[in-house]
């Protein structure tokens, strides 16, 4: 009995027209992928996909000569990477670069013709790809006749020559209509020059359909030309003239050592850095967009003395910091028409730019910075950062980066809103990104040292949680309606302050790190890094804001003066009322005021609850903050600080002045006066070390220069103390 011989793919190999080229298998030929076979079948791709590798098909006929000539006139280069064509006019490339896989797609000239293979992008050119940003898995073929039953995790930010912008729930392209489209394995659907990318993973319960519109970068050139300040090529040349690559590589190293732990908006892996001591190579610098590279340079320049080589070079010639930040701004403006995640990264760093001229720290920012914050929030919405992306069909590394960027935008919006007295741009019902966890930092955790008393990147996660408290304080105490309601209602103010004090105490209890001055002593005996001082100060600033809101209703406001039109005759006006009436009837019930760090006794009763006790509690809070600043060392001030911290110190100066002006008794006034004089000495001495205190010192000195009695309407007991 004869047995049927086993099927051997090699036995059915057809004759091939050329022995100089490798014979592709049927699967690779159908998908127009490069077929790599070792000594015998199966090929590498079929072996990896666990597919049958056959060679039974016949090669397709070559197109007519005139078609080949027409394709040649388009200037199609020879393929440099694996490629395959989707049914919707995209050519998808998978290219190996330093061990990472990056991807790109390009739109077709018409609905049927396919463009050429990927060209090496030039730095600064439209659509240039930052190839090190994210890894994208190798892509398999797309079935040409039916919609895909699955979707590959494919990079959304690094699509060659195209920019992705979110289609919201009420956009002209209805997401609930697009959900019925037939998308391929890459989540793509194309209609001539209109291309949609399905995010994948949604809709699910409590999630909406998420789609992105892929716009050809060349279509944006007309709009970009209208607002162009300088070309990317010019900006790149200027940057390389100001900062040599050798100098710049060490600045990038300083950035990831000093700035990245507080603002992890750029991953070390983007530049191939394995640890804080790693220095990026020239290829990594060349592939980084101009605005992002310049932003890292500008952020790291204040720490140049911490590098042995840069300290010597910095002593003889320093790169002009303001010119570097100017390059960042110009390049961001150019990139806003074709934004990518690198645009957001550079914009966030620009918010915290420093200056060579210390005099600029003596005045507040112009309205431009708040307007820029609005542009950054709008950019985040266009990129879809406000949507939870963990179910998206994108690589895990891009998910973590998008989530960190959103929380960085959220932090800036909430703090600038509170410190500048502006309504926040971000509303609670318009975002659903969940809180950060270790998965958002996992690829980088092992390479960086732990912070004293905490794990890697804990400070940024803590700052994100603190921003939620700042949002609650702004909404509950400082929004327009809250101020109108609570300004003269102490009891309602107390009720609003109680849950905020609870949130602040819970946040502080969750921080295992030591106080900055204690941490400095500990680090002298260990190799761990200190917890960022700027985060500690942010917490204390929020405590001050709650107490400041409680002081508002303790004293009544002066009646507004009559309004006199300039073109009307001046009539005799009524004399101003004696300001002493402001401090009448100062007895209140503080039995429900929560205890915060032992500022109030637990047995406060109605008979002993007075405004005097409130001021004593507020003065205790102010005293802690004065001591905190007094004990900071040059090492603490030499850390990275959020740029708005200087506004926070100005808030402290105003808070201390309010304690003096509104002091309910001579005893309170004397204590407030002594604390204010101590604060002046502290910020004067510490201001010699860091410009972060300059604005606070300027604001306070202005009051004394004009004279407190001449500036404020003071009760007699306060005037007596001042004299």
Pairing of strands 82-85, 162-167: unpaired
Residues 6+ apart with CB under 8 A from 264: 404, 441, 444, 457, 460
Provide the pLDDT for residue 318. 87
What gap in Å lies between CA 365 and CA 554, rounded to an integer? 31
Provide the pLDDT for residue 59. 65
Cis peptide before 614 (omega within 30 of 0): no
Provide the pLDDT for residue 596. 44
Within 10 angstroms of residue 90's Cβ, the number of other Cβ atoms is 25
Task: Yes or no: say if 147 and 187 are a contact pair by the CB < 8 Å rule.
Answer: no
Tell me the two tokens of residue 597. 């760090």
Pairing of strands 100-107, 162-167: unpaired
Max Cα–Cα distance, the chain, nearest Å: 129
Task: Yes or no: say if 157 and 134 are a contact pair by the CB < 8 Å rule.
Answer: yes
pTM of the model: 0.77
| CA-to-CA separations, 5 to 56, 67, 434, 687, in angstroms, rounded | 18, 45, 59, 89
Tell me the two tokens of residue 90. 């995209």
Tell me the two tokens of residue 620. 């205790």
Over residues 579-589, the pLDDT tens digits come to 544 444 444 44
Task: Yes or no: say if 268 and 364 are a contact pair by the CB < 8 Å rule.
Answer: no
| Alpha helices, H only, 442-584 | 442-445, 458-473, 480-486, 490-509, 516-523, 533-551
The torsion defined by the Cα of 175, 180, 184 and 186, in degrees rounded to 10, comes to 20
Residue 91 bridge partners (DSSP):
85, 106
Provide the pLDDT for residue 530. 79
Task: Yes or no: say if 568 and 496 are a contact pair by the CB < 8 Å rule.
Answer: no
| CA-to-CA separations, 581 to 105, 376, 558, in angstroms, rounded | 74, 47, 9
Low-confidence ranges of the chain (pLDDT < 70): 1-21, 58-148, 442-456, 513-529, 568-610
> 88: part of which helix (H) or strand (E)?
none
Within 10 angstroms of residue 440's Cβ, the number of other Cβ atoms is 23
Residue 103 bridge partners (DSSP):
94
Over residues 512-550, the pLDDT tens digits come to 766 665 655 444 444 456 789 999 999 999 999 999 999
Provide the pLDDT for residue 548. 95
Tell me the two tokens of residue 184. 């391929």
Tell me the two tokens of residue 611. 């405004």
Provide the pLDDT for residue 34. 80
What gap in Å lies between CA 131 and CA 347, rounded to an integer? 20
Cis peptide before 636 (omega within 30 of 0): no
Q: Which residue reads 């030309």 in tokens?
A: 225
Over residues 588-600, the pLDDT tens digits come to 444 444 444 333 3
Tell me the two tokens of residue 369. 């910075």
């Amino acid at each position: 009995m004869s047995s049927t011989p086993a099927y051997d793919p090699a036995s059915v190999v057809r004759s091939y027209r050329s022995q100089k080229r490798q014979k592709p298998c049927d699967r690779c030929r159908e998908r127009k992928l490069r077929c790599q076979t070792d000594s015998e079948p199966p090929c590498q791709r079929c072996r990896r996909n666990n597919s049958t590798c056959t060679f039974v098909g016949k090669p397709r006929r070559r197109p007519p000569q005139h078609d080949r000539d027409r394709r040649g006139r388009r200037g199609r280069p020879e393929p440099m990477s694996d490629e395959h064509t989707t049914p919707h006019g995209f050519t998808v490339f998978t290219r190996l670069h330093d061990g990472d896989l990056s991807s790109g797609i390009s739109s077709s000239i018409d609905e049927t013709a396919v463009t050429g293979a990927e060209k090496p992008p030039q730095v600064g050119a439209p659509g240039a790809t930052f190839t090190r940003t994210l890894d994208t898995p190798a892509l398999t073929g797309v079935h040409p006749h039916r919609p895909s039953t699955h979707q590959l995790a494919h990079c959304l930010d690094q699509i060659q020559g195209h920019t992705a912008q979110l289609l919201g729930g009420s956009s002209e392209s209805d997401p609930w209509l697009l959900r019925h489209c037939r998308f391929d394995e890459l989540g793509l659907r194309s209609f001539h020059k209109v291309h949609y990318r399905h995010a994948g993973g949604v809709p699910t319960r409590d999630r909406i359909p998420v789609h992105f519109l892929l716009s050809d970068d060349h279509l944006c050139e007309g709009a970009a030309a209208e607002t162009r300040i300088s070309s990317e090529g010019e900006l790149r040349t200027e940057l390389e003239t100001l900062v040599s690559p050798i100098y710049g590589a060490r600045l990038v190293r300083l950035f990831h050592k000093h700035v990245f732990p507080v603002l992890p908006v750029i991953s070390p892996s983007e530049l191939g850095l394995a640890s804080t001591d790693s220095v990026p190579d020239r290829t990594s610098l060349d592939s980084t967009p101009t605005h992002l590279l310049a932003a890292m340079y500008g952020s790291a320049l204040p720490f140049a003395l911490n590098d042995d080589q840069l300290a010597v070079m910095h002593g003889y010639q320093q790169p002009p910091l303001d010119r570097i930040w100017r390059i960042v701004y110009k390049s961001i403006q150019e990139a806003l028409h074709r934004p990518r995640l690198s645009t957001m990264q550079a914009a966030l760093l620009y918010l915290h730019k420093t200056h060579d001229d210390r005099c600029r720290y003596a005045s507040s920012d112009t309205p431009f910075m708040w307007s820029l914050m609005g542009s950054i929030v709008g950019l985040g919405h266009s990129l879809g950062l406000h949507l939870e992306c963990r179910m998206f069909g994108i690589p895990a590394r891009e998910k973590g980066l998008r989530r960190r960027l959103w929380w960085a935008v959220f932090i800036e919006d909430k703090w600038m809103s509170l410190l500048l007295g502006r309504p926040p741009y971000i509303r609670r019902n318009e975002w659903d990104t969940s809180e950060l966890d270790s998965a958002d930092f996992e690829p980088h955790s092992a390479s960086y040292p732990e912070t004293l008393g905490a794990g890697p990147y804990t400070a940024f996660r803590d700052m994100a949680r603190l921003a939620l408290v700042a949002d609650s304080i702004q909404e509950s105490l400082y929004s327009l309606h809250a101020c109108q309601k609570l300004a003269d209602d102490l009891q309602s103010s107390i009720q609003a302050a109680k849950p905020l004090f609870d949130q602040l105490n819970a946040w502080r209890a969750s921080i295992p790190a030591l106080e900055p001055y204690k941490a400095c002593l500990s680090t002298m005996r260990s190799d761990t890094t200190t917890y960022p001082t700027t985060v500690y100060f942010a917490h204390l600033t929020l405590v001050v804001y709650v107490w400041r809101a409680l002081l508002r209703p303790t004293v009544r406001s002066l009646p507004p003066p009559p309004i006199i039109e300039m073109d009307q005759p001046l009539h005799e006006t009524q004399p101003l009322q004696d300001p002493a009436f402001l401090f009448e009837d100062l007895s209140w019930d503080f039995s429900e005021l929560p205890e915060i760090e032992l500022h109030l006794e637990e047995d406060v009763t109605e008979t002993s609850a007075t405004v005097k006790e409130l001021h004593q509690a507020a003065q205790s809070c102010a005293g802690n903050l004065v001591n905190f600043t007094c004990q900071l060392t040059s090492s603490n001030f030499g850390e990275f600080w959020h740029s708005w911290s200087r506004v926070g110190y100005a808030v402290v100066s105003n808070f201390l002045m309010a304690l003096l002006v509104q002091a309910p008794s001579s005893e309170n006034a004397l204590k407030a006066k002594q604390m204010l004089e101590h604060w002046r000495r502290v910020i004067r001495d510490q201001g010699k070390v860091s410009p972060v205190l300059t604005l606070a010192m300027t604001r306070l000195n202005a009051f004394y220069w004009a004279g407190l009695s001449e500036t404020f309407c003071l009760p007699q007991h306060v005037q007596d103390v001042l004299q």
